[in-house]
Every structure is written in C-alpha cells, then in structure tokens.
Structure 1
C-alpha cells in the first residue's frame, strides 16, 4: 500500500524545522500544518506527508528517507539547499547504476545524522 505520511523524531525541533524548510524548498515542500512539538511539510494543495516530531531532546537512531524529485535539476537543488542549510554531503548528485540505469540521486546527512536522499528516475 502507498504510504500516506511518515514522521521522524528530532532532538532539536526548532533547528530541524528551519533546516527542512530550507532543504525541501526546491522540492516545493512547505510547512502545511503545525502543532506543538510537530510540523508537517507538504506540497501546496496536498496533505502533509513528511512530519517532524520533537523527541523532547532525546537522541534517536538515524533514519533514511528518499524524496522524489521531478528532474535532475531538482535533485541538484535539493542537495545544494541542504548543504547551505547545514547538512553534510553524503553523495553528490549523479547516476547510481547500482540501483538501476535510470536512478539519479543525491544524498545528505541532516543536522541529526539522518541520511536523506532526493531521487529522480530518468526516462529511458
């Protein structure tokens, strides 16, 4: 079944919200909903599908999440915006033939150690 939404727990909620507001802007994601200790990001006109939830300062194990890009340029913009917002490069934008001949992606490590990816599946 398709995933309706997902959330990750973050120790520094305010820093994570600022980081993802900048990092996800090239993907057209914006803050769509917010409650005390949680914030949902989504594409305008759609539901929030990526959430941050405060772990109230507790460190949590890192996760891997892949966002779907619409073009190579969007993958590159996600990577650049993430680095500018404080992420660490975990894989420059480029083809990943080990995952498939059409798999174009970039990877970053966010402020809390999560491995975040933006992937675009190039038309064959």
Structure 2
C-alpha cells in the first residue's frame, strides 16, 4: 500500500495553485509544509498523500489517478482543473474498455503530468 507520492515541479507556485484548485473537489488540501524549498503535502486527512517540491529540472511526466467518491466529484475536478489552467486530456465520461463503471476525467497539469479523477461506482 502506498503512503504518499512525491514529485518535483519546475514552477512550484504554478503547480501548487493548479493542484490545490484541481484537487479541492476531491477533498485535497495542503496538510503539511516543509521548510522553505522542501515543498508541501496535499491530502484529505492529517497526512499528505501527494508531496510537491520545487525542482530545478522539468520532471518527466507521470500519470496520477485519484479516486473520487462520486461521478459528480469527477465532473467538479475536471471543471476546477480546467479553470486552473489544465489542458484537456479526456473530459468526464465512462471508459467502459476498463470496466463498465469506470467514470474518469483527464487533465494535463503545468509540468505535463496527466492527472485523472476516477469513480468506480455505478451511477
């Protein structure tokens, strides 16, 4: 089981603004901040699940999928991520090629990361 995932951001301020806005509909917020230059952790409890830190280099893009409780949460994630400057990589909808109830949305963030919100529950 994964405790948390960390990744660098070439424009830390832009990435933090994006991730805070995009993940707010999923219940994520800053729950821990390190000393200057160490970054911050976002989570939906008392411990960070995602740790974002400044990076002198542009990191290799990654795929980050976060579970949503409802399909409406997926829709809200997509809307918030797009409003925060994300680029569309697949709007909210069913992806039945994964399984019949796979409802997800995909957005490219500031460093090219493919950020997804997914709900596995039926409508």
Deviation at 1:76, TM superposition (A): 0.3
> Is 1:68 the equivalent of 2:67?
yes
Q: State the number of aligned residues.
A: 121
Describe the superposition over 1:3-24 as per-residue Cα deviations: whole angstroms up to 9, x where unpaired: 0000111101111111111111
Q: Which runs of 4+ in 1 moved over 2 A?
A: none
User: CA RMSD, aligned part only?
Assistant: 1.2
Q: Which residue of the partner structure matches residue 32 of structure 1?
A: 31
Q: Which residue of the partner structure matches residue 54 of structure 1?
A: 54
Higher strand share: 1
Describe the superposition over 1:22-52 as per-residue Cα deviations: whole angstroms up to 9, x where unpaired: 1111011110001123110011x43110111
Q: Distance in 2 between matches of 1:48 and 1:104?
A: 25
Give the 3-state SS of the residue equivalent to 2:30 in structure 1: strand
1:38-117 matches, within 5 Å, as 38-43=39-44, 45-56=45-56, 58-117=57-116
1:4-43 matches, within 5 Å, as 4-35=3-34, 36-37=36-37, 38-43=39-44
Q: Distance in 2 between matches of 1:26 and 1:6?
A: 20
Q: Distance in 1 between matches of 2:14 and 2:68?
A: 24
Q: Distance in 1 between matches of 2:80 and 2:122?
A: 25
Q: Which runs of 5+ in 1 are unaligned?
A: none
Deviation at 1:123, TM superposition (A): 3.5
Q: Which runs of 5+ in 2 are unaligned?
A: none
